[in-house]
Structures are given as C-alpha cells and as structure tokens.
Amino acid sequence: MEQKKSRKKANFFEKWFLDNRFSVILFNFLLFFLIIWVFNKISFVLNPAWMFFSAILPPVLLATIQFYVMNPVVDWLEKKWRVPRVLTIIVLFLIVVVALIWIINTIIPIVQEQINSLVKNWPKIWDDAVNATQNALRDPRLNSVRSNIDKIIDNTQKTLFKSGQTTVNVALTNISSAVSIITMIIMTLMTAPFLLFFMLKDGHNLRPYITKFAPQRWQKSFGKLLWDINNAISSYIRGQITVAFWVGVMFAIGYTVVGLPYGYTLAILAGFLNLIPYFGTFIAFIPALVIGIMTSVPMLIKVLIVFAIEQAIEGRVISPLVMGNKLEMHPITTILLLIGASAVWGLWGVVFGIPIYAVLKIIVSRVYNYYRKVSDVFDDDADSATEDASSDKNKQVKTNSNDN
C-alpha cells in the first residue's frame, strides 16, 4: 500500500527521467561520449602519460604473458610440496635458458637455412607458377579469359616489384625508426625477466593489496571482480599458447612426414599465426598450399591431408580440452570482434581484442547488475507486485461476474 502511494506521488520529472529506463540509458551514453570529448580536447596534457605508458608496455606485456604461463607451476609446488617460490622461479628460469639455448643451436639454423633457400628459389618458383598458368591458358577453351588472366599476372608482378622497392626505400629512409625499434626490443628483453621474477614472487599478493583501496562495503565484490578478470585473462593466454604450440608441433610432424619443402618454417609460422583465433591457421596454410601446388600434384594432396588431420585433432581434442568455452563467447561474436578490432587497431587488435573484450564484458556486467540492485529503474519486485495485484483484480472481477 505504501509502495502504491509513493508511486502516485512521483512527479513528471521522476516519471520520465529518474525512473525511466530509456532516459537513464541515453543519459549514460551522453556522459560516456562527453568524457571522450573532454579527453580529446585535453589530449596534450595526456601525451606525456601516453608516452610513459608506451615505453613500459612492451616489457610489462611480455612479463605478464610469461607470468600466466609459469605462475600455475609456482603456485602448485608451493601449495602441494611447500617448495619456496623463489626456488621454483630460479629453476623455471634455468629451464627457459636451457630451452632458448637449444632453440638457438637447433631450430633457428634450420629455419634460417629454409628461409634463405626460399628467398633464393622464389624467383624460380614464381616463374614455374607463371609458366604453368600460361601453359594451362593455351587451351582453346580459355581464349576468352586468357587476356584478362595475362593482365592479372602482369599487374601482380608489377605490384610485387613496386612493393619491394617501397619496402627498401622505407627501410633506408627510416633508419632512426629502425634503431628505436631495436633499442625497444633490447630494453624489453633486458627488463622483462626482472619484472617477471617479482611478479612470480609477489603476484599472489597483488589482488588483496589492490582490494584494500576499495571502500569497506565493496571490497568483497571488488575482490571477486579482480579474480574473475584474472581468471579470464589467464585462461585465454594459457589456452592460446598451448593450442598454438601443439598446432606447430602437429604441422612440423606432418610436413616432415610428407616431405614438404620448408616444412619447419611453415610449421612455426602456423604456430604463431594460430594466436589469431579462427583465421590464423587458415592464413598460415596458404603458403603451404602454394608450395605444395608448385612442387607437385601428389604433394598438394599430401598437404591437404595433413591440414585435414590437424584440423580434426585441434577441433575435437586439443581446443575443447585446453580452451573449452571459458570466455563464454559465441563464435559469431568472436569473428565480428576480430574483424572490427583489426580494422581499428590492426594486428594488435586481432591479438588483444578478445581478452580486452572479455575484461570489459566482466566489468560492464558487474556494474549493470549492481545498478539493477540499487536503482529504482529496474524495480522488478514492484513491477511483479503490480502485475500480481492486477491479475488478482481481474480474477475478482471475473468471479463477481460469474456470481451475478
């Protein structure tokens, strides 16, 4: 009864603005874009902060990725066997150093030899492909399209030549940029191990430390929010790296068995590109397909068989076992997100678009659920009570009419 009286006292402003869902949503959108506009106007103030953030981002990013890979081992040994975290970290660092030495002495020379051979033989491979295409075009049935295909081949050759010249010119005219990039890489490789050591040593204390800065009544929910974000990012990073590693291993084994030229290089490329969900493996398959076509028809068939087996194992065993559906994202959402992120931020958007979306999804859903609890706009109990009262009234009217 009191709830009905309070609703009757609501004036025009409360009814159409304060307690109206559509008006509140529009007002929130207005505030969001107003904040963006203000930050755009004072961008000169934020430039130093952005430069600082850009300088520390590469080593922090590299250390964070390695942290999510190594931290489960450190936590497990500490909880299960009481092994000190520092001792486990030192052993893991030694294992990584040994693995890097093995890669440098074993895999890199093979890949370097294959790349040099591919660069050296590429003109011959291209000429063979052009000659094969021209021989196929000599069929009288293709007279109508022969001129168009010849133009396409000529345009492709000219485009490749111009692209090579442009790349050389850009490399020569941007020596300072190249030097800065090399300097950034060296600084990243030097500072990331130190960051990683302290992240592994004290990272488990970070969430309780950050939670203390929240108000007392929000600390529990804020700590749960941080835990959900950490869990989503760690699951995605570990899952993607694990799947990419096994994809590279499967392609390396398959290409070696069928005897595909430059197999190790193509397998490593497939592993790296598999970090791009859905599209990475297919992009990496294109050069393998081209080399298989230029080698022989039986080799093309073998490459297709290797790709089919790899896709079957990855799709039915590795990805469901490692990734599952931990981010709770529909494939259509993932594909559209990758397309949009690549259009806005390029390669960085493709690689980091999904984890950023997962973090924003968690934050927005938590804020939305909190707003539903504290706001009268989503007063579901009152609405249900009103509906129940109206239904009871209708039943009473129907009963009275039946009695009459």
SS3 266: helix
Cβ-based neighbour number of residue 108 at 10 Å: 13
What does the radius of gyration of the chain's CA atoms come to, in whole angstroms? 30
Here the tokens at position 337 are 């997100």
Average pLDDT, the chain: 81
d(Cα 1, Cα 364) in Å, to the nearest integer? 35
Q: Is 8 exposed, middle or buried (0-12, 13-18, 19+ CB in 10 A)?
A: exposed
d(Cα 132, Cα 268) in Å, to the nearest integer? 29
SS3 277: coil
More confident residue, 209 or 170: 209
Q: Where are the chain's structural domains? A: 58-111+153-202, 214-376
Here the tokens at position 138 are 């000599």
What's CA 129's distance to the chain center, in Å?
A: 36
More confident residue, 24 or 91: 91
Here the tokens at position 371 are 């707003």
d(Cα 338, Cα 330) in Å, to the nearest integer? 12
d(Cα 233, Cα 52) in Å, to the nearest integer? 24
How much is the pLDDT for 5? 47
pTM for the whole structure: 0.78
Instruction: Please report, rounded to a whole number, the percentage of residues in the chain having pLDDT higher than 90.
Output: 34
pLDDT at 187 over 70: yes
Residues, the chain? 404
Here the tokens at position 71 are 């931290």
Number of H helices, E strands in the chain: 17, 0
d(Cα 350, Cα 217) in Å, to the nearest integer? 38
What's CA 228's distance to the chain center, in Å?
A: 17
Residues ≥6 apart with Cβ < 8 Å to 307: 285, 288
How much is the pLDDT for 4? 45
Q: What is the pLDDT of residues 261-310, one digit of tens each?
A: 999 999 999 999 998 877 888 888 888 988 888 888 889 899 999 999 99
pLDDT at 89 over 90: yes
* Residue 150 Cα distances to 137, 291, 370, angstroms: 9, 21, 64
Here the tokens at position 1 are 């009864």
Half-sphere exposure in the Cβ direction for 336 (13 Å, CA):
5
d(Cα 336, Cα 342) in Å, to the nearest integer? 10
Of 82-86, 189-193, 241-245, 314-318, the poorest mean pLDDT is in: 314-318
Write phi, then psi, for 42 (nearest 5 degrees). Answer: -110, 30
Write phi, then psi, for 212 (nearest 5 degrees). Answer: -65, -25
Write phi, then psi, for 346 (nearest 5 degrees). Answer: 70, -140
Quote the DSSP letter at residue 325: T
